[in-house]
Amino acid sequence: GWLVGEDVKFVPTLEDVESMNTPVHVLVVAPGIITTVEVRERKDEMLMAELAYYQRLGQEIQIKCHSCCGAILDKIDTIYEEGSHPKPFICVEGSSGMGKSQLAFSLGGEGRKYPRPWFYWPLLSAGEEMQRVYWNFSSIATAFESVVKKDELEKLPKAEILNSASSFYTTQKLWTYGFIIELLRYDSRADVGAQMIRVENETFEVAKCGLKDVIDARTKINNRKVLPFFILDEMTPSGEIPNMMKLAAFQRNVFRACGLVVIVMGTDAKISNLVSQSQHSRTGSHWWMTVVSSFPTYQSISSPRSCEGRIVAEGDKVASRREGHC
């Protein structure tokens, strides 16, 4: 078919300009194979103040509850080193107000053998009341949900989505795979160390890819640096929203299929709906999920809000489960 001007994109590098004898590289974007995904986070003063508060809080928790945070980071390293496929996931479960979101900001690991960066965003469509800090990640969350929507999960059997080892994940080309590749490349370019990655202003050209494409991209990056992990907050599927169970399970399982560590956070009452096992059997035991059932305590710091939270905890145990397949 015909290509119009917007389908042909030329991005010269500094070396191209300086040498003048380097071949010109033209990226031909075929309609229907590439989609443009924009992330434009708001720079609202009140939201930025809330973000800064959570960042300071995360640093405080790292210092005062080093062993607890370290146990979670140790588990992430173990999952990456263990080599199982699909990867087990980490579940942070607790009642509303227990400090799950604060914990998400406290997992920096400077000085560790593998100081890993991480991506974080909430599941906006879960139907939960939005905390103010979530709005600092609303664009990346919306971008992720938009590519998931393009994969048309509603047309697929529920059992295929819930089973992370199903042929769906190994054979289908998915927009979500393409988005994950772009995030891995962004992490590689950003090179931020052991910090939360907040994509503020970026345009991604997302291709519809297969699992092998993600694994190839992941391997290429892992040859040069450590892989990041991903935190999905408010993963508490509401039965009132059509296909919500499928949507939440897919968002968790797609990272596992890619060989990436994902942490899902949700409330006690609802997260069991997300982590319930499928009825498929498998010979022998395998590592399915790690549960973070307790949270670190911390000393409150100055907050821009009138009400401050407190993480309630009694220990720093990170428990593992080897159970049926999901």
pLDDT per position as a tens digit, 2-40: 443 344 444 444 454 455 444 444 444 455 689 999 999
Report the C-alpha gap between 191 and 183 in whole angstroms: 12
Report the C-alpha gap between 95 and 241 in whole angstroms: 21
More reliable by pLDDT, 4 or 106: 106
More reliable by pLDDT, 124 or 105: 105
Report the C-alpha gap between 197 and 117 in whole angstroms: 7
pLDDT per position as a tens digit, 218-244: 999 988 889 999 999 988 766 656 678
Mean pLDDT score across all residues of the chain: 77
More reliable by pLDDT, 153 or 325: 153
Radius of gyration of the chain (CA): 20
Q: Are 256 and 86 in contact (CB under 8 A)?
A: yes
pLDDT per position as a tens digit, 266-302: 876 566 555 545 445 444 444 555 655 555 654 455 5
Q: In terms of Cα–Cα distance, which of 269, 108, 68 is closest to 194?
A: 108
Verify cis geometry, omega within 30 degrees of 0, for the bond prior to 86: yes
More reliable by pLDDT, 305 or 90: 90
Residue length, the chain?
A: 326
Report the C-alpha gap between 187 and 193 in whole angstroms: 9
pLDDT per position as a tens digit, 294-318: 556 544 555 444 333 333 222 233 4
Q: Could you tell me how far CA 149 lies from the centroid of its own chain?
A: 16
pLDDT per position as a tens digit, 186-201: 999 987 889 999 999 9
Report the C-alpha gap between 82 and 321 in whole angstroms: 15
Helical packing angle, 268-275 and 244-257, nearest 10°: 60
Q: What is the rounded average pLDDT of the residues 54-67? A: 89
Facing residues of 122 across strands?
Answer: 233
pLDDT band at 168 (very low <50, low <70, confident <90, very high): very high
Q: In terms of Cα–Cα distance, which of 160, 91, 126, 93 is closest to 239?
A: 126
CA distances from 121 to 59, 136, 176, 299 (A): 19, 9, 15, 25
What pLDDT score was predicted for residue 131? 85
Report the C-alpha gap between 241 and 313 in whole angstroms: 32
What pLDDT score was predicted for residue 129? 64
pLDDT per position as a tens digit, 115-144: 899 999 998 764 456 788 999 999 999 999
